[in-house]
């Protein structure tokens, strides 16, 4: 959803947007997670000079893959957010931009338009855990046979030592 900033400047009032964003509008689907339903968002966009302030609330449902046992898990995402966007600074080739820690909460836009769906996508991705798990005590899969260890122990004889680590296993026996 593209917002025309020149029209926002002419009206001189914040723009309120209530919209449902679908998978096709957002860039959040990966192999590990995807949207189960459209994301419902209420957003207020206001201008403060060149700064575009985006404040809002979103909620939606994600399905993810547990990084330990590969089961599908479902999580709801509900979040309030406030982000400031500034015009994209012009840099010559080879120039560098130094950022302070406080600058990491700032985004940039280019031209006289603003992509609201990119903001919503960013906020959803920030809520996805780096390593989603179905439950905290998930035991995962056996590294030898792939059996789900949450259902019980496997029968593959996991006492075998990787030949690359055999020297360490011998050293451990000597220490005991």
Q: Are 17 and 1 in contact (CB under 8 A)?
A: yes
Average pLDDT over residues 127-154: 89
For the cut 80, the answer to whether the pLDDT of residue 90 exceeds it is: no
Residue with tokens 């990084």: 67
Average pLDDT over residues 12-23: 86
How far apart (Å, rounded) are the C-alpha atoms in residues 79 and 81? 6
Residue with tokens 């547990």: 66
- Read off the pLDDT of residues 105-119 as tens digits, 9 standing for 90 and up: 677 788 888 888 888
Cβ-based burial of 37 (10 A; exposed 0-12, middle 13-18, buried ≥19) = middle
For the cut 70, the answer to whether the pLDDT of residue 103 exceeds it is: no
Q: Phi/psi of residue 172, each to 5°?
A: -65, -40
> What is the torsional sign of CA 17, 52, 25, 81?
negative
Who wins on pLDDT, 41 or 4?
41
How far apart (Å, rounded) are the C-alpha atoms in residues 52 and 49? 8
């Amino acid at each position: 959803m593209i917002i025309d900033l020149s029209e926002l400047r002419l009206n001189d009032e914040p723009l309120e947007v209530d919209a449902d964003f679908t998978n096709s509008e957002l860039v959040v689907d990966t192999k590990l997670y995807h949207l189960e339903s459209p994301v419902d968002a209420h957003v207020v966009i206001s201008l403060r000079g060149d700064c575009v302030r985006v404040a809002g609330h979103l909620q939606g449902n994600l399905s993810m893959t547990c990084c330990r046992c590969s089961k599908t898990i479902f999580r709801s995402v509900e979040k309030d957010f406030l982000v400031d966007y500034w015009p994209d600074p012009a840099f010559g080739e080879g120039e560098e931009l130094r950022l302070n820690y406080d600058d990491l909460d700032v985004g940039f836009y280019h031209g006289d338009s603003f992509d609201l769906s990119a903001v919503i996508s960013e906020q959803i991705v920030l809520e996805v855990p780096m390593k989603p798990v179905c439950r905290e005590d998930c035991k995962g899969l056996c590294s030898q046979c792939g059996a789900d260890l949450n259902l019980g122990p496997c029968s593959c004889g996991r006492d075998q030592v990787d030949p690359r680590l055999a020297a360490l296993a011998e050293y451990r026996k000597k220490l005991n």
